Amino acid sequence: MKINVVYNVEISGYEKVLSILEDTLISHKVEFKSFDISAMEKFGDFTFVIGGDGTLIKSAKFYSKFQIPVLGVNLGRLGFLSQAGVKDIDNMVSSVINGDYTVEDRIMLESENSLALNDFVIKGCIPSRTSKFYLKINDKFVCDYIADGLIVSTPTGSTAYGLSAGGPIIYPTLDAFVIVPICPHTLNVRPLVVPSGEIITVNTGDKMLSVAADGGESAEVSRISVKIAESKAKLAFLNNNGFYSVLRNKLHWGISLTD
């Protein structure tokens, strides 16, 4: 087995964790190469990622074109997609070497040259104002929204910005997308779940849109069409970390605040 190790120099404490992981791989006699997130390469057939969910998402998108699984060591705030902490590194490496993990194929969104594992966030170009957004699905008019913006999310991204905006949690391997309005200026607007084969188009009349994929830099466009990407991200999970246990442990799902 050969391993890619990806790290993010912008996250505090990465040096110590990188050293521990590299020493652990050496002790297990595993061949590996380490790459900064800004200079990833294909070397191995499995990838460890040191950082937060943002680092893991960027790595998963890069390695998706090679169908290489990624597994995260969390140094971020929440680490919803990451599977291990610093203290778990030795067990994590042993589990991967022994094949004691599962890999889930996660659908992604694409628009033009942009790829999103979590979501596309669409807003007007004047942040302090609501905008009118016109939604079409498969070139058929659906409705218009007066809102701060729209989120077009994958099931993976349904626990991210879409959840904060009032959207549903979708089981991560379902073939569906969710469209969530951000602060809509009416009470009769609700999130819309659609099959993953639909083509979602949004514009705002003769004005420009501000579009960001996975929380990255925004680009100005006159309209955006979003569809399922050809490639899928491969996320690796240790066998004791199922989706529902992650909901409980990371989001404290269903746990009373008084407990």
Q: Give the pLDDT confidence of 48-60 residue by residue, as tens digits.
A: 999 988 999 999 9
pTM reported for the whole predicted model:
0.90
Mean pLDDT on 217-232:
95
Q: For residues 156 and 80, what is the distance between their CA atoms, to the nearest angstrom?
A: 10
Q: Give the pLDDT confidence of 57-98 residue by residue, as tens digits.
A: 999 999 999 999 999 998 866 566 877 888 889 999 999 999
Annotation marks residue 144 as catalytic: no
Domain boundaries, the chain: 2-107+232-251, 109-228
Task: Give one DSSP letter per residue of 182-238, joined into a string.
Answer: ES-SSTT---EEEETT--EEEE-TTS-EEEEETT---EEESEEEEEE-SS-EEEEEE
Quick check: do 2-107+232-251 and 109-228 share a fold? no
Q: Give the pLDDT confidence of 21-46 residue by residue, as tens digits.
A: 999 999 999 999 999 999 999 999 99
| 205, 184 Cβ separation under 8 angstroms | no
- pLDDT level of residue 113 (50, 70, 90 thresholds): confident
Residue 221 has pLDDT above 90, yes or no: yes
| 5, 48 Cβ separation under 8 angstroms | yes
What sign has the CA pseudo-torsion 140, 142, 148, 149? Answer: negative
Q: For residues 124 and 130, what is the distance between their CA atoms, to the nearest angstrom?
A: 7
What sign has the CA pseudo-torsion 48, 50, 54, 59? Answer: negative
What sign has the CA pseudo-torsion 159, 199, 56, 68? Answer: positive
What sign has the CA pseudo-torsion 46, 43, 68, 35? Answer: positive
The CA-atom distances, in angstroms, between 142 and each of 85, 164, 208, 250 are: 44, 24, 20, 35
pLDDT (0 to 100) of residue 245: 73
- pLDDT level of residue 258 (50, 70, 90 thresholds): low
Most confident of 72-81, 182-191, 198-207: 198-207
pLDDT (0 to 100) of residue 127: 74
CATH class for the region spanning 109-228: mainly beta
- pLDDT level of residue 255 (50, 70, 90 thresholds): low
pLDDT (0 to 100) of residue 204: 92
What CATH number belongs to 2-107+232-251? 3.40.50.10330
| 141, 170 Cβ separation under 8 angstroms | no
Residue 186 has pLDDT above 90, yes or no: no
User: Which residue in 23, 36, 45, 53 is the catalytic one?
Assistant: 53
Establish how many alpha carbons lie within 13 A of residue 170's alpha carbon, considering only the half-sphere containing its beta carbon. Answer: 29
First vs last C-alpha separation in the chain: 44
Q: For residues 108 and 157, what is the distance between their CA atoms, to the nearest angstrom?
A: 9
